[in-house]
Structure 1
Amino acid sequence: MEFQLPSLLVLIPILLGLISSLNTLLWFLNWAWTNFLRPPKDLKSCYGSWALVTGAADGIGRAISFELANRGLNLVLLDCDAPKLETTAKEILHGHDVEVRTLVSDLCVDREDELVRKVREVIEGLDVGVVINNAGTTHRDPLFFDEVDDRLVESIVRVNVEAATWVTKAVVPGMLERKRGVVVNIGSGSASFLPSFPLFAVYSATKASQEWAYKYFDA
């Protein structure tokens, strides 16, 4: 059977459309399975008995810390707010049969070598298999790039990119030695979904940097 040229011109776009639709459907099914349907992992057996969470004293980091404690993981909690950090640690210890260590560190201030030293000291001898880089900062009000104070730009980059990188650098050698572990960066829709976020350009750029850097690390 021979196809005439007009028939081929119609058939090719239809096939390409079907392939594109199938690819989108497979992506959606994989996304739904990964985020909502697959059974939870036993984090202790898969990765290790300890987890390190940055920005753990409040907000998302605090909630993650409680959830990890619910899963039976011992915790190393890092934050710059010592009183809140101590409160969070006490509340976790009160309601869960886990161990908790705390590390007070201002990620805007601590230099790279100091941060790595602090983290390695507190995790020495621990089976840290989960790292949650949650700490993050930005400016409160929408500002164009040229309006953001230089020191604020520096602090956003230091916390969102540099600190996450150095915390990971401090922990990864142990993971490689044990041949297991996972690093999770708390991202932002401003870097993943929105086509542009101009009034928070520095924040969005740092979150995008985290996302792409760890894709390459995983490779």
Structure 2
Amino acid sequence: MKYGQDLEISKVDIKNVVADFATWSGPEISKAIEGGIKELDVGVLINNAGVSYPNGRFFHEVDWKMTESLIKVNSEAATWVTRAVLPAMLKKKKGAIVNMGSGSVAVLPSFPLFAIYASTKAYLGMFSRCINLEYKHHGIDIQCQVPLFVATKMTKFKKSLFLIASPEKYAKASIRCIGYEHLSMLLFMHTCHFRRL
């Protein structure tokens, strides 16, 4: 199913589920999500939690707490949340899961001074590719989207410019692209920037 073609959202119910991705174990995360969505019909899961370094640094300079947080939030959390949501999608034989990777990982052969961040985002690309092959015949689309720059707290960009998308613009493009490629760079302005690198 190509979600963006005829997706019309008229009413959205929001339910908050509190989970600490940086400190909780995987099973704790899954149980919290499972309990929180028990009564809901989840059609689309977007795993977009992520952290990075405040600035570039050598691998040995990244402290223990930051290292653990990067791995747990960027890689493990998406794995455990997906595990919690997938069974309901399997029963319905439809759904979509989007894991938010990083454009820097998609096209650069390496990303020095951000080694742990880049590695955790590369994991999401491989994880998405593998489970997409496992579940697409069950009617579930799984994709890793690889944005470049979006004006968020993590990127520290305060406003959108030509090569920096606003969160709203990226979100609209994100929904339109679900179901097409397992690894997707959505915005024209981001692909132009990559061609120039």
TM value normalised by structure 1: 0.57
| Alpha carbons 2:45, 2:97 under 8 Å: kept | yes
Partner residue in 2 for 1:132:
46
Partner residue in 2 for 1:21:
none
Q: Percent identity?
A: 44
Q: Which stretch shifts more, 189-198 or 169-178? A: 189-198
Partner residue in 2 for 1:175:
89
Of 51, 55, 75, the residue aligned with 1:161 is 75
2:179 equivalent to 1:215: no
Give the CA RMSD over aligned residues: 1.7
Distance 1:183 1:158 in 2: 19
Letter in 2 for 1:40: G
Letter in 1 for 2:89: M
Stretches of 4+ aligned residues off by more than 3 angstroms:
none
- 1:56-205 equivalences in 2 (<5 Å): 71-72=8-9, 97-205=11-119
In structure 2, list runs of 5 or more residues that go unmatched. 134-197
Change (3 A) 1:186 1:39: closer
Letter in 2 for 1:42: D
Letter in 2 for 1:188: S
Distance 1:167 1:109 in 2: 15
Question: Which protein shows a greater Rg?
Answer: 1
| Alpha carbons 2:58, 2:113 under 8 Å: kept | yes
**SS across alignment from 1:173:** helix
- 1:40-51 equivalences in 2 (<5 Å): 40-43=4-7
Higher share in helix: 1
Instruction: Give the drift of 1:39.
Output: 8.7
**SS across alignment from 1:183:** strand
Instruction: Give the drift of 1:152.
Output: 0.8
Higher RCO (Cα < 8 Å, 6 or more apart)? 2
| Alpha carbons 2:18, 2:32 under 8 Å: kept | no
Deviations, residues 109-132 of structure 1 (Å, cap 9, x unaligned)? 121111111101111122111000
Distance 2:86 2:67 in 1: 28
| Alpha carbons 2:20, 2:29 under 8 Å: kept | no
Change (3 A) 1:172 1:39: closer
In structure 1, list runs of 5 or more residues that go unmatched. 1-37, 44-70, 73-95
- Number of residue-to-residue matches in the alignment: 132
| Alpha carbons 2:21, 2:72 under 8 Å: kept | yes
Instruction: Give the drift of 1:214.
Output: 1.1
